[in-house]
Amino acid sequence: MEKEGWRFRLTVEGKNEHEPMNVEFLTVPKIPASEEGIPTMEELSKWEHLRLIRGKTIGPRRQDSVEDSRARKVMESTMKKTEDGHYEMGLLWKNDNHDMPLNKAMAESRLESLKRRLSSNKDLHAKYTDVMEGYIKQGYAEPVVNKGIPGNVWYLPHHPVENPHKNKVRVVYDCAARFAGTSLNDQLLKGPDLMNDLLGVLLRFRQGRVAIVSDIEAMFHQVKMIDPDRDVLRFLWWANGDMKTSPRIQNVCTPVWCHFLPVLRRKGPEADSR
């Protein structure tokens, strides 16, 4: 038996290599052995740590729903490569004609709550200001220069979340914040599941002799948002974090969702072709 656990190899009758199948495996820290050196079924049945894990289906994904099909069409029709080498894509709207209520008053109220929180925690205020100003300097957010089209303007409340283990602060935009009976999330499609199955990733990781792992810096911000959709990603922030001044209106230029996934799927074949 191998160090990683028991392995089974067999041919399944009636199955071909293109059909999906379930993968099952055992995780075993230590095998209790009988006098003959082989564990009996009675011994195994008493072993508390024996676990049978059923993997998810590996193979073709389920057929897209009507909403998933629409989401794919939006991705394909709005995704394009920009002059600076980045990709941009539109939001996955449920309907072409969306009429968003003006929720600036709600965003201002949430900003006042944020102001009280930051005023009572100088260290958090400094860290959050660094992150926000960094977003603006790196082009992840930009000042708003127009009033926007009525019905196509939405303000996102935001707040900091601290990671005590990394001593870092990240910005969380509240896309579920409701106003006048709706939220930005209510107007958008969830989209198809484009994540790779974790079990499949682990199995493919072991296929070759050498495995390479890489990371994309600021992955969420590498995909741009198309201009027509930026006005529904507005937020309020003080210039240089100075809470004594009037807040300015900013646009989020990069998605607050996982828009990088369809881009990665397009970039893969492009890289292979080169």
pLDDT the model gives residue 222: 82
* H or E element that contains 68: helix 66-78
Mean pLDDT (whole number) for 52-63: 49
Nearest to 28 by CA among 47, 43, 9, 55: 47
Other Cβ atoms less than 10 A from the Cβ of 103: the count is 23
* Domain boundaries, position 260: 83-196+219-273
In a domain, 4, yes or no: no
Model-wide pTM > 0.75 = no
Report the number of distinct structural domains present in the chain: 1
In the predicted model, is pLDDT for residue 143 greater than 90?
Answer: yes
In a domain, 9, yes or no: no
Tell me which of 38 and 222 has the higher pLDDT: 222
Judge contact between 154 and 231, C-beta under 8 A: yes
Tell me which of 224 and 263 has the higher pLDDT: 224
Q: Please list, in sequence order, all residues whose beta carbon lies within 8 angstroms of the beta carbon of residue 60, skipping any fewer than 6 positions away.
A: 20
Q: What is the CATH number of the domain that holds 189?
A: 3.10.10
Q: CA-to-CA distance for 220 and 223, rounded, in angstroms?
A: 7
Mean pLDDT (whole number) for 204-212: 84
In the predicted model, is pLDDT for residue 99 greater than 60?
Answer: yes
In a domain, 24, yes or no: no
For the chain, the 3-state helix, strand and coil shares in percent, each to the nearest 5, are 30, 20, 50
The two structure tokens encoding residue 18: 């293109």
In a domain, 63, yes or no: no
The two structure tokens encoding residue 245: 């001044």
CA distances from 72 to 105, 191, 212, 269 (A): 34, 7, 30, 17
**Least confident among 51-55, 61-65, 224-228:** 51-55
In a domain, 180, yes or no: yes
Tell me which of 122 and 213 has the higher pLDDT: 122
In a domain, 125, yes or no: yes
In a domain, 54, yes or no: no
pLDDT in tens, 227-266: 989 999 999 999 999 999 999 999 988 765 555 555 555 5
* Phi, psi for residue 51 in degrees, rounded to 5: -130, 135
In a domain, 175, yes or no: yes
Mean pLDDT (whole number) for 80-107: 91
